[in-house]
Amino acid sequence: MATLELRQVTRRFGAVTAVDRLDLDVGEGECVAMLGPSGCGKTTTLRMVAGFEDLDDGEIRVRDRLLSSRRANFYLPPEQRNFGMVFQAFAVWPHLSVFENVAFPLRVRKLPRAEIEQRTRDALAHTNLQDVAGSRPDDLSGGGKQRVALARALAIRPDAMLLDEPLSSLDPHFREEMRFEIKDLQRRFGFSILYVTHDQSEAMALADRILVMRAGVVEQIGTPLDVYTAPANRFVFEFIGLSNCLDVAITDAGIAIAGQAVPASCVAAPPAALRAAGAAVLATRPAEVEFVDAGGVPGIVARKAFLGETVDYRITVAGQEVRVQKSRHQPGPREGEACRLAFPRPRWY
């Protein structure tokens, strides 16, 4: 059963369609990450779900409850939607203690005092904040402040959690730590998450499914593995993970890059439809490119960088750049040296 349903959701700003007929179901206990470049419509979508933006068309439901519908001329205010929200900015009140920050939305709802106390203490315990309940948020680290925001969202017992780039202002150590904490909380409480981010590693680590957007349109929805290994089109391939895209000519004699023939043993043949077109784009991940001793595509190592467990190569091939990443334990050419490359598992566009 879907917790959250979006049907043909559309939002326009003048002549610009920010979100165009978006359909999405977020299942019970599922985390869906919305991923895409700046201006693609992901935050606008989240704001419509939260009630901060109205729709120009379509409808939004949580379980069987209608939240927004242009055709039905219905709009439920944000405070009545029962969503927990965590923003990029920490959005905590510096003049209130950690306890009062978490308790505040419960007091606004005029819940009984004993229930407010219990819910607040439960939320603080689940986010490891019980020892700093009396502190002010300014006494905490960035990760601590974001835990306060999470605890406040948990305390209301939300139908779903809406997270808008909640970790982007944290340093790398806290960012990774908070990823695991968010996922642990989701598993413990079983709530659904709609998660907006531009960070691919966050989306991969947290999401059960990833929705990739461009210019207000959904390009692909799938598991992280599906989106990475079976991208729907070239945009998704280039946007998710590191990628190489080489322009190649296709003739009866085979494949050529900038007029230089590519040995058939070094690259899988393109599909027949592209062969008839006479030109294509050879796409591959940096880790899928192989160094070979003979017969490969010739290139020159323009740059070689040590990245810890991997070595990153920038190879110039007939005026185009190919990025290659290999284990630091695997021998490879030096910077400035000639090398030869093979592309055993290319995609073709």
Q: What's the pTM value of the predicted model, to 2 decimals?
A: 0.87
According to the model, what pLDDT value does residue 188 have? 86
Task: State the pLDDT confidence band at 61, using cuts at 50, 70 and 90.
Answer: very high
Identify the weakest region by mean pLDDT among 72-76, 137-141, 259-263.
259-263
In percent, the amount of the chain with pLDDT more than 70 equals 100
Residue type for position 271: P
In percent, the amount of the chain with pLDDT more than 90 equals 66
Residue 334: CB atoms within 10 Å: 8
Give the separation between CA 259 and CA 324, rounded to whole angstroms.
Answer: 22
Can you tell me the mean pLDDT for 160-183? Answer: 84
Distances (CA, A) of 328 to 17, 28, 307, 311, 314: 47, 42, 8, 5, 15
Q: Judge contact between 50 and 162, C-beta under 8 A.
A: yes
Q: What CATH number does the domain located at 242-348 have?
A: 2.40.50.140
pLDDT at 302 over 80: yes
pLDDT at 121 over 90: yes
Residue type for position 307: L
Can you tell me the mean pLDDT for 214-228? Answer: 96
The domain segmentation of the chain, as residue ranges, is 2-238, 242-348
According to the model, what pLDDT value does residue 218 have? 97
Identify the weakest region by mean pLDDT among 98-102, 141-145, 206-210, 271-275.
271-275
According to the model, what pLDDT value does residue 90 have? 72
pLDDT at 252 over 90: no
Which 8-state DSSP code applies to residue 263? -
Give the separation between CA 129 and CA 87, rounded to whole angstroms.
Answer: 19
pLDDT at 138 over 80: yes
According to the model, what pLDDT value does residue 306 have? 95
Q: Alpha helices, DSSP H only, in the chain?
A: 42-50, 98-108, 113-126, 142-155, 172-189, 200-206, 224-229, 234-239, 272-277
Collapsed DSSP state (helix, strand, coil) of residue 146: helix
pLDDT at 259 over 70: yes
Mean pLDDT of the chain: 91
Summarised one tens digit per residue, pLDDT across range 3-33 is 899 999 999 999 999 999 999 999 999 999 9
According to the model, what pLDDT value does residue 145 have? 87
Task: State the pLDDT confidence band at 1, using cuts at 50, 70 and 90.
Answer: low
pLDDT at 337 over 90: yes
The domain 2-238 is classified under which CATH number: 1.20.80.10, 3.40.50.150, 3.40.50.970, 3.40.50.300?
A: 3.40.50.300
